[in-house]
Amino acid sequence: MMKTLALTVLFTAASAAGAAELEITVAPAEQIERVRVVERLPNTMKKINRRWFDAAPAGEKGHFIVEDLPEGVYDICIETVDHRIEGVDLTTGAGAEEPAFCWWLPGERLAAENFDPATVFEEGAVVTEEEKAEAIRKKFRLDALRKCLDTITKVARFENYVRVIYAAGTPEKAKALVELRRDGGHYAARGDEVIWRSEIWTFVWAYGAWVAQNRSAKVLERFRLQRTEYEQLERLYDPRIGGISLKEGEKTTVVYQLPEVLDDKMGKAGTTRN
């Protein structure tokens, strides 16, 4: 099986029975200092639960391997000389052949899988990139999703800053990576304090509109920091290295090209990788 997601390639082969194996190749190799994978477990009220596994260098520079992984779904975390970027699982359980989209909102990048926008036009027609993008938006009801996201992020809440970074899914179900921030000013604030979270929100298409599934929000990270610490914090995300499903007895390979620019369009940019 081979699956291609823009700059990420995944394929599986037979591996030792009883465990899964993940091979990771990252370029440019000279920038890479550390690679890990994380299994995000169900959270409790007071704790974000996850298991980390170190990837060991293997062979030529930029190539890593993690052996004896339990069957499950994993995200890759890459630390470069200057940055930290990790995967986020925005998969919705769609079949391998089902049309799906991935939308990077701040970066204004929209891609589709298993759907060729040219097929909605007459054969031989000259189709512009803008028309292709419009066909994708129509296929996946993205104008309605944008309206839903704009509305829900403006609802009065504890946080005073809410931003959607990525959205992905099918015409029937979507997930979004959202960052939320509170800049002091609340009754329990201690000094110049910032509370920051990253979450995954789920939406379904019902009754002619996208509907948020409030009870399904999953917290990825939660920090309560003084502003000087917050300014150093970095949490950048890319769904192309997230949601990697590993099966017992299989080896999965991921090849990933680091984006040319790693900045706050991918999450919380900072000066430290911790």
Report the distance separating Cα 39 and Cα 69, nearest Å. 10
Q: Are 68 and 15 in contact (CB under 8 A)?
A: no
Residue 186's pLDDT is 73
* Distances 229 to 203, 242, 272 between C-alpha atoms, Å: 33, 27, 9
* pLDDT class of 17 with cuts at 50, 70, 90: low
Looking only at the bridges linking them, the beta strands covering 161-169 and 109-113 are unpaired
**Strand pairing partners for 187?**
none
For 29-74, how does the pLDDT look when each residue is reduced to its tens digit (9 = 90+)? 999 999 999 999 989 888 999 999 999 999 889 999 999 999 999 9
Report the distance separating Cα 269 and Cα 261, nearest Å. 11
Mean pLDDT computed over 236-256: 96
Looking only at the bridges linking them, the beta strands covering 235-238 and 84-87 are parallel
Burial of 203 (0-12, 13-18, 19+ CB in 10 A): buried
- Taking alpha carbons only, the member of 64, 72, 97 closest to residue 255 is 64
Helices and strands per DSSP (H, E), number in the chain: 3, 20
Q: Mention every residue, 6+ apart, whose C-beta is less than 8 A from residue 7.
A: 240, 256, 257
Residue 121's pLDDT is 87
Give yes or no for residue 5 having a pLDDT over 50. no
Mean pLDDT of the chain: 90
Give yes or no for residue 86 having a pLDDT over 50. yes
Report the distance separating Cα 59 and Cα 105, nearest Å. 37
For 95-109, how does the pLDDT look when each residue is reduced to its tens digit (9 = 90+)? 888 999 999 999 989
Q: Which residue has the tokens 């930290």?
A: 84
Report the distance separating Cα 142 and Cα 160, nearest Å. 25
Domain ranges of the chain: 2-268
SS3 31: helix
Angle at which helices 129-139 and 142-153 pack, to 10 degrees?
70
Burial of 255 (0-12, 13-18, 19+ CB in 10 A): middle
Task: Give the rounded distance of the alpha carbon of 201 from its chain centre.
Answer: 12
- Give the other-Cβ count within 10 Å of 124's Cβ: 5
Give yes or no for residue 238 having a pLDDT over 50. yes
For 164-179, how does the pLDDT look when each residue is reduced to its tens digit (9 = 90+)? 999 999 999 999 999 9
Mean pLDDT computed over 209-233: 92
Report the distance separating Cα 274 and Cα 271, nearest Å. 9
Q: Which residue has the tokens 């921030």?
A: 181
Looking only at the bridges linking them, the beta strands covering 250-257 and 218-226 are unpaired
